[in-house]
Amino acid sequence: MGAKGRVKSLDNEMSDEEEKEETKSNKTSKSKSQAKEHKSQLERLKDKDPEFYEFLKEHDEELLQFNDEDIDEDVTTDVEDAATDVEDADLQGVDEIGGHRVAEKKEKPSKNVITTAMVDSWCNSVQEKENISAVRSLTKAFRTACHYGDDGGDDSSTKFSIMSSSVFNKIMLFVLSEMDAILRKLLKLPSSGGKKETIMDLMNTKHWKNYNHLVKSYLGNALHVLNQMTDTEMISFTLRRLKYSSIFLAAFPSLLRKYIKVALHFWATGGGALPVVSFLFLRDLCIRLGSDCLDECFRGIYKAYVLNCQFINAVKLQHLQFLGNCVIELFGVDVPTAYQHAFVFIRQLAMILRDALNTKTKEAFRKVYEWKFINCLELWTGAICAYSSEADFSPLAYPLTQIISGVARLVPTARYFPLRLRCVKMLNRIASATGTFIPVSMLLLDMLEMKELNRHPTGGVGKAVDLRTILKVSKPTLKTRAFQEACVFSVAVELAEHLAQWSYSVAFFELSFIPLVRLRSFCKSTKVERFRKEMRQLINQIEASSEYTNERRMSISFLPNDPAAMSFLEDEKKSEASPLSQYVLTLRQRAQQRNDMLTESSVLVGEHSSVFGKKISESDEEDDAWNEEGASVFNSSWLPGGDSKTKKPKEIKQKKKKRKMEEHNTVAVHEDVVEELVLSSDEEESASDTLSAGEDDNEKLVPPRHQSKKQKPPTNISKTKVKSRAKKSKKRKRAN
């Protein structure tokens, strides 16, 4: 019975093979008839529409070079390939014939391996003949290059297989450099520029229906490889070339959102020239696409700025200033839209301050007295100063001034003198930009009356204090000479800046009367001769400016409420002729020298940002330089998805950055904690206060019991070491 069963199974297999051969013959006959019909249609097209026939002959000559035999062979091979694929799929499992196992058949479909000769031929045919089939081949090769190393990289649907690093570099360089010009020629667009309206009109044309898949493939694959790149120069070059094709993103909203996220990420976290290139890409998107991306770009760049400004030190200060300037520049693209977002964000700051004033808890004060909050105030101060002449943006000056004044008076202690001085600087900037009077002098004169700046320093000279990088100082630092000098000098500078703005006003004599009285009282009460000498110089300059103004005021005939009072000493104000303005110039030079001594400019991260900006502005005019740079950038053995050598050092850098961020977290959080709300004029200070103050700046907040426990072990170890050394010395003496 077993032999008969085997014979029947073999007969069934033979009948199945005969049926497959019949289906193959039927399909080949159908394909032959279809090929003949297609050839006859092409011949009729030559007579019916000769213009279209000539167009096909110029742009796609391979389509007209049609042959029945080639089609027959291709169809038969395709059918055979499909049949073999089905057979392979069926035979991948284990086949049993009579209980015996047959070996599995696994054959992957063959692919064309991309070589440099193939890439060169495609590039030549695109540049010389403008062949569309070569463009399609290049886009497919570009997709293969961008998806190299992916999980689905060996997909049978792709026509080409994996290539070497040299072929990858050649494909990437040519496509990124030339694809924008190729697509613009195919779509009948100008060689550069354009706005959203041009793409909206183009989407209804026949050219767009024929070639939009090429545009989407180019932008989508470029976005994919951007997420895989690790080298900043490679990313910068890719973004720089994609900026020319950013107009096409108006037709693909999902790709547009992804590009915005990627550019914001590179802008906030990139190194070298990458932040500048990313910002220029975002700015170009906002200018060309308008309302489609403005809201998302404004929200995204503000959130990215907030995430980067949570901690500040001397290394990060200038880089953060660069990021703030980028945000302000981007808001200038559409000021009315920026006003709506600025109103919402400033209102959020006001609500945080209101909560602190109402609840008066440590948590509420901590939300206000942190770097994130203060840097946001700095950002909006810069925005209002930049767009103070805009009618849509100037109304925000008043609420922001109220918030800054409230922050400066929230906790009036000497430990927060650096924060108060930052608030005064912001108020002076707003006053000078908008031309409005803000009562800043009271905030500064109140600082001079506190006891910490009137008595001799009892904590020694101390380390130099950089007031730009701290919000709060420890209690031992309050008693140092360096801190007192920094505060008194900063008060003199800001008070002189404030009064110099109004030294050309008709009412300067009345405005400067109260500051003069309080400055004279400070000179009498202070016990430090240096401070007395500094303030006497300021008093002399204020008195000279008031005399300068009074002499010219005697000759006027208009009333104080007359509009002609606005033009009083207008020419002198432009030339800064008053004695107080000249004195302010010398104070600024001294302040700049002091800042240069505190930090070395070569160490700052953001120092080279302006240099990169200049290079980019020059390179816009010279594309040849960028092509040379692209050749140097795409000249490595890097491939996307591979374990390249450049990935390991980047992981090490990321770990180092995480460690630094954790250290900054611990230091900055404990610096910003508002522990005491007692006025600094109270004289109750204990040893426990000095311990907690020392911890605020350099150590973690630990209860005193735990601190003593942690400090005891090293002392015990040192005692045991001393005892062991004493015993050894005694033994040596006995031996001697």
Amino acid 630: pLDDT: 61
pLDDT, tens digit, 9 for 90 and up, residues 231-243: 888 999 999 999 9
- Residue 735 belongs to what H/E stretch? helix 704-735
Nearest to 483 by CA among 537, 428, 531: 531
- Do residues 418 and 467 make contact, with C-beta atoms less than 8 angstroms apart? yes
User: Average pLDDT of the chain?
Assistant: 75
Cα–Cα distance for residue pair 423/721, rounded to 1 Å: 53
Cα–Cα distance for residue pair 335/66, rounded to 1 Å: 59
pLDDT, tens digit, 9 for 90 and up, residues 315-352: 788 889 999 999 999 999 999 999 999 999 999 999 99
Amino acid 16: pLDDT: 52
Amino acid 399: pLDDT: 96
Can you state the angle between helices 441-448 and 513-525, rounded to 10 degrees? 10
Least confident of 314-318, 448-452, 482-486, 704-708: 704-708
Higher pLDDT, residue 49 or 167: 167
Least confident of 39-53, 224-238, 541-555, 573-587: 39-53
Amino acid 619: pLDDT: 40
Helix (H, G, I), strand (E, B) or coil at 75: helix
Amino acid 129: pLDDT: 81
- Do residues 191 and 184 make contact, with C-beta atoms less than 8 angstroms apart? yes
Question: Number of C-alpha atoms within 13 angstroms, CB side, residue 678?
Answer: 10
Amino acid 410: pLDDT: 92
Cα–Cα distance for residue pair 606/601, rounded to 1 Å: 10
Any idea what the Cα angle at residue 513 is, between residues 582 and 491, rounded to 5°?
55
Least confident of 488-492, 631-635, 669-673: 669-673
Cα–Cα distance for residue pair 472/370, rounded to 1 Å: 10
CA 359 to chain centre: 35
For CA atoms 445, 451, 454, 459, the dihedral sign is: negative
Strands 96-97 and 100-101: antiparallel
- What is the share, in percent, of the chain residues with pLDDT greater than 90? 34
Strand partners, 101: 96
Q: Which of 97-106, 334-343, 673-682 has the highest mean pLDDT?
A: 334-343
Question: Number of helices and strands (H, E) in the chain?
Answer: 32, 2
Q: What number of other Cβ atoms are within 10 A of residue 602's Cβ?
A: 7
Higher pLDDT, residue 631 or 91: 631
Higher pLDDT, residue 726 or 691: 726
- Residue whose entry in the numeric block shows the structure tokens 């107080």: 580
Dihedral angle computed from the Cα positions of residues 109, 114, 117 and 121, in that order, rounded to the nearest 10 degrees: 90
Least confident of 135-139, 484-488, 591-595, 700-704: 700-704
- Do residues 522 and 449 make contact, with C-beta atoms less than 8 angstroms apart? yes
Confidence bin at 286 (pLDDT 50/70/90): very high
Helix (H, G, I), strand (E, B) or coil at 96: strand
In this structure, what are the phi and psi dihedrals at residue 49, rounded to the nearest 5 degrees?
-130, 80
Cα–Cα distance for residue pair 373/352, rounded to 1 Å: 9
pLDDT, tens digit, 9 for 90 and up, residues 398-446: 999 999 999 999 998 899 999 999 999 999 999 999 989 999 999 999 9
Q: Which of 119-123, 384-388, 546-550, 681-685 has the highest mean pLDDT?
A: 384-388
pLDDT, tens digit, 9 for 90 and up, residues 370-382: 999 999 999 999 9
The one-letter amino acid code at 647 reads K
Least confident of 108-122, 300-314, 482-496: 108-122
Confidence bin at 673 (pLDDT 50/70/90): very low
Cα–Cα distance for residue pair 273/703, rounded to 1 Å: 46
- Do residues 79 and 28 make contact, with C-beta atoms less than 8 angstroms apart? yes
- Which runs of consecutive H residues, i.e. helices, occur in 187-273? 196-202, 206-228, 232-242, 253-269
Can you state the angle between helices 529-553 and 513-525, rounded to 10 degrees? 160
pLDDT, tens digit, 9 for 90 and up, residues 114-161: 888 888 899 998 888 888 889 999 999 899 888 887 765 444 445 666
Higher pLDDT, residue 474 or 666: 474
Model confidence at 688: pLDDT above 50: no
> Of how many residues is the chain composed?
736
- What is the share, in percent, of the chain residues with pLDDT greater than 70? 66
Cα–Cα distance for residue pair 622/633, rounded to 1 Å: 17
pLDDT, tens digit, 9 for 90 and up, residues 543-565: 998 888 888 878 777 776 777 66
Cα–Cα distance for residue pair 315/312, rounded to 1 Å: 8
Higher pLDDT, residue 477 or 709: 477
Confidence bin at 61 (pLDDT 50/70/90): low
Cα–Cα distance for residue pair 445/492, rounded to 1 Å: 10
Amino acid 641: pLDDT: 62
